[in-house]
């Protein structure tokens, strides 16, 4: 977990010095496995987190005595501190899951407006969040492939909503996207707008990233199609009955 995310997610900015020291040491413990902390370690943690360096004598006194006691003297490293067992157990109970989260996707409408397009169907929301997260983290090939997949899913949902999905099936299975796009561009029941002329761009951009041996997508490749892609989303969400 990034230090900044930890600081923001767990509200370290509003904590008092002793509580902040506890949380910073817990972060260090989770990230590095380090279980003993010297005064120098704690000062370095405060500095790395962007906080003023504390008075070490005062802070040490506060975290090993009284109501704010969090640490005990280390049994293995002279002069260092370690979490009191009950305190560490409580931290693991309350915050440990944050390091085991394999479900949450960090995204915030970097490419696709999540307020407008998420929350309709769970699988669509997950795809959009993955698209945004890929774009945010410069994974443009992943982003292009996921955009292609979302495009294909929305086309199929639109056909299904209009009860004309049989025309894009072969032997009971959906046709390849290239054939679906060609049908969509000329289908008088689907009645797409002029934006349909851009549809093959979405397919090809995803195909290049998925199948080309030497091609790698760039930010510009995604940015070049994002305006038309946004128009497509709006139209197919309406066709599919999602808006």
Whether the CB-CB separation of 117 and 237 falls below 8 Å is answered with yes
Q: What is the pTM of this model?
A: 0.71
- Comparing CA positions, the residue from 58, 61, 77 lying closest to residue 69 is 61
Distance (Å, rounded) from C-alpha 35 to C-alpha 22? 12
Average pLDDT over residues 178-202: 96
Predicted local confidence at residue 71, as pLDDT:
96
Q: CATH number of 3-99: 3.30.70.1090, 3.40.50.300, 3.20.190.10, 1.10.10.10?
A: 1.10.10.10
Q: Which residues contact 213 (CB under 8 A, 6 or more apart)?
A: none
Looking at the chain, the whole-number percentage of residues with pLDDT higher than 70 is 100
The domain locations on the chain are 3-99, 114-239
Predicted local confidence at residue 67, as pLDDT:
85
| Predicted confidence (pLDDT) at residue 100 exceeds the cutoff of 90 | no
Whether the CB-CB separation of 163 and 157 falls below 8 Å is answered with no
- Comparing CA positions, the residue from 154, 123, 129, 124 lying closest to residue 142 is 129
Whether the CB-CB separation of 22 and 87 falls below 8 Å is answered with yes
| Predicted confidence (pLDDT) at residue 233 exceeds the cutoff of 90 | yes
Q: What residue has token string 């802070």?
A: 59
pLDDT band at 162; cut points 50, 70, 90: very high
- Comparing CA positions, the residue from 105, 104, 39, 99 lying closest to residue 73 is 39
Predicted local confidence at residue 114, as pLDDT:
96
Fold topology of 114-239: 1.20.120
| Predicted confidence (pLDDT) at residue 243 exceeds the cutoff of 90 | no
pLDDT band at 105; cut points 50, 70, 90: confident
Whether the CB-CB separation of 225 and 198 falls below 8 Å is answered with yes
- Comparing CA positions, the residue from 91, 122, 127 lying closest to residue 107 is 127
- Mean pLDDT, rounded, of the chain: 95
| Predicted confidence (pLDDT) at residue 102 exceeds the cutoff of 90 | no
Average pLDDT over residues 86-98: 93
* Run of H or E including 135: helix 122-136
Whether the CB-CB separation of 24 and 42 falls below 8 Å is answered with yes
Q: What would the two tokens of residue 71 be? A: 């640490």
């Amino acid at each position: 977990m990034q230090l900044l995310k930890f600081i923001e997610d767990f509200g370290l900015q509003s904590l008092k010095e002793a509580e902040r020291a506890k949380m910073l040491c817990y972060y260090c413990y989770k990230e590095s496995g380090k279980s003993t902390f010297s005064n120098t370690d704690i000062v370095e943690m405060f500095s790395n987190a962007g906080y003023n360096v504390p008075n070490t004598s005062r802070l040490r006194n506060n975290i090993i005595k009284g109501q704010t006691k969090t640490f005990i003297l280390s049994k293995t490293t002279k002069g260092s501190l370690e979490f009191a067992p009950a305190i560490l157990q409580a931290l693991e109970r309350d915050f440990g899951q944050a390091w085991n989260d394999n479900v949450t996707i960090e995204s915030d409408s970097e490419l696709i407006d999540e307020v407008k397009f998420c929350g309709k169907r769970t699988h669509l929301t997950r795809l959009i969040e993955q698209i945004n997260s890929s774009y945010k983290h410069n994974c443009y090939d992943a982003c292009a492939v996921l955009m292609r997949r979302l495009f294909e899913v929305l086309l199929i949902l639109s056909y299904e909503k209009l009860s004309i999905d049989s025309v894009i099936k072969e032997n009971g299975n959906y046709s390849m996207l290239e054939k679906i796009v060609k049908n969509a561009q000329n289908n008088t029941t689907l009645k797409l707008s002029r934006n349909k002329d851009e549809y093959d761009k979405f397919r090809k951009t995803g195909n290049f990233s998925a199948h080309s041996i030497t091609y790698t997508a760039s930010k510009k490749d995604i940015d070049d199609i994002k305006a038309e892609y946004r128009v497509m989303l709006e139209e197919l969400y309406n066709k599919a009955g999602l808006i």
